[in-house]
Chains A and B, each alone.
Chain A
Amino acid sequence: MITLRAGGLSIRVHPRSLAVGAVLLLIALAVALVNLTTGDFPVPVADVLRSLGGRGDAGTDFIVYQLRLPRVLTTLLVGAALGASGTVFQGLTRNPLGSPDFVGLTVGAASGALIVMLVLGGGGVQVAAGAIIGCVVTSVVIYLLAFRRGTQPFRLVLMGIGVSALLDAANSYLIYRSHLDEAIAAQVWLIGSVNGRTWTEVTIVAVTVVVLLPLVLYYGRHLTMLTLGDEIAVLHGVPVQRSRAVLALAAVGLAAGATAAAGPIAFVALAAPPIAARLSRSPRAGVLPAAAMGAALLTAGDWVAQHALPANDVPVGIVTAALGGVYLSWLLFFQRRNR
């Protein structure tokens, strides 16, 4: 731990966390570059770099800027948003399972989006708006349900599971009653996919990340204190109520923005923070390493979805759900062995 001071401002830096975050970010960018070069028309790395530098030919520019870059950027930013949101939630709930997908937020976002898609017949930005509204409403409902003389972290997770089950039933009913083509589109969205994303989605998630990530970084300083309990945090001069409210709202916002852009992608928010924590050998992952880990995970998952499976262009949500389920099973099994 190193403390940097400049005038009245002092920042504590955990060098290993920073290094891990930087390495993970480089890995994410490297995989993203690979994703830019591969596809139906393989483009050499040199051409991609030249095109990114603004000196490419028209054909390469089209492939890179219109087809691949929006998808790659969406993947990176969604992964980062999910990773950051996950580490904040896990800190606030003091529980490794307190990620947005477990506390039911992403299912709520999905319900909002499905209502826009299948009932109101909207598309594009309207779907994203529906997802964000659904996410926020669900988070408020779950919080109110779990609140009883303070929120008990595990109760929050269980409430999330209950509300998710309810919304899942509603979602499968919405898919059941609509036309087949609409239903397939809705289902692919529901799995979580970055196929065919455009600059619209990039803008949505980029705005979310640019606005909320600094906020999370600033108040995220207090997370460690908050996990020690309210009394201790107050004693150390942490504005408990304000920090918690801002962090919770920002984390909900990050999850909502990510879901609006790519659908409810499972398990990145759950798995990225603990893996980052393990790599940086700290009890809890910082926001930046977790975000970098999320970006790396989702980008790698997208590569797997595009290349490693026999079926063409599988939604990335399938890959993350399969990997995440295995990870969670391992977590449960491992914890049991430890007791």
Chain B
Amino acid sequence: MESTLTQVTDVPSVASTRAARRWISLGIGAAVLATAIVLSVAVGSRTLGPGIVWQVLWHPDDSAASDIVHQLRLPRTLLGIGVGAALGLAGTVMQALTRNPLAEPGLLGVSLGASTGVVVAVAFLGIGSATGYVWFAFIGAALVSAAVFGLGGSGRVTPERLVLAGVSLTSVLGAIIWAVLVTNRAAFDRYRHWDVGSLADRERDTLVQLAPFLILGVLVALALGRQLNALSLGDESAAALGAHPGRIRALGILAVTLLCGAATAACGPIWFLGLAVPYAARLLAGADLRWILAYSLILGPALLLASDVLGRVLVAPAELPVGVVTAFLGAPLFIALCRRRKLSEL
């Protein structure tokens, strides 16, 4: 359905140059991601040369460099790749589902929903491991996604109203979180280190435990590309093309819940990545959501790792948590987006 549309509207030569350009920029994106990965392993309070990194990467020994790479930087980098991909994809799916360029897991409160689940699990049920509380993060994220879409309305909904629905839910959830934490010193201490959004100091097996959920979420999101393309024409046109808007939304919410819940359980709420990644991906890839999703999968980790490296460099020898860096990079983008366009075009 969608491919026939493309064939009708595009002259073949134009289509082929566009495809070529897309592949080239995807390659550039992959190169940027590779650079970010290398930097993330090499740069830190003790910067290692690329040669040493390469050598200890394949031949671990007892040297300090080997310990740093294998114990600290490599797990952190892998976690960053997983979380970055998850948040980038989650943002893209949310924006496609709501046809709203301001939709973002952080702004819409989905991350905070996951946080609330985690806080309840930690404070009331005494659950300490990521595999334990990830389920509560899922429940929280799912409830909030459903509520945001319900409150903001699934039909004709203005971007601003959806953001406001998120803000109002955020305040209720914040109240719940603080009501729990204000009387619980130990839980508060853990929460503040988690709430800031950081890739550092996470348990080493966090990524391994969360990998199944992340992979499932990524697969669902990527598989939705074609249906989301149909949905972008509007519910009625999508139905006329043979798609099922309700089913697409349900699967989309499932993907967002899995991705966002797992990412938040892993490293706390990280703001604005889900806003910036789809925006950049749209600039590069055009309107086809299959391509946008592919770009998000690459740009998300690249952006998160780059922010993380930046956080290590900016205030060295101390570190800025990556959540702070992404907020400081992403909020100006949000402001610029709101300023530049007319509100009706948002």
Interface residue ranges, A against B (CB under 8 Å):
97, 102, 145-146, 148, 152, 154-155, 157-159, 161-163, 165-166, 168-170, 172-173, 175-176, 180, 183-184, 187-188, 191, 266-267, 309, 311-312, 314-315, 317-319, 321-322, 324-326, 328-329, 332-333, 336
Contacts and interface: CB of A to CB of B under 8 A. Distances in A.
A312 B178 contact: no
Nearest to B181: A187
Contacts of B182: 187-188, 191, 311, 314-315, 318
A162 B303 CA distance: 19
B160 A157 contact: yes
Contact of A175 (B157, B192, B331, B338): B192
A102 B338 contact: no
29 contacts: A154-B343, A155-B339, A155-B343, A161-B107, A161-B163, A162-B331, A162-B338, A165-B107, A165-B271, A166-B331, A169-B328, A170-B324, A173-B320, A176-B192, A176-B196, A187-B181, A267-B171, A314-B183, A315-B178, A318-B179, A321-B174, A321-B175, A322-B176, A325-B168, A325-B173, A332-B161, A332-B164, A336-B151, A336-B157
B324 to A, nearest CB: 5
Given A176-B193, A191-B182, A332-B165, A321 B339 contact: no
A180 B185 contact: yes
B117 interface: no
Interface residues of B, number: 50
B106 A165 contact: yes
B335 interface: yes
Contact of B335 (A163, A309, A319): A163
A104 B162 CA distance: 18
Contacts of B151: 329, 332-333, 336
Main secondary structure, interface of A, reads helix
Contacts of A309: 179
Contacts of A166: 327-328, 331-332
A77 B223 CA distance: 57
Contact of A173 (B178, B324, B343): B324
Given A322-B172, A328-B168, A332-B151, A172 B192 contact: yes
Nearest to A159: B335
A67 to B, nearest CB: 21
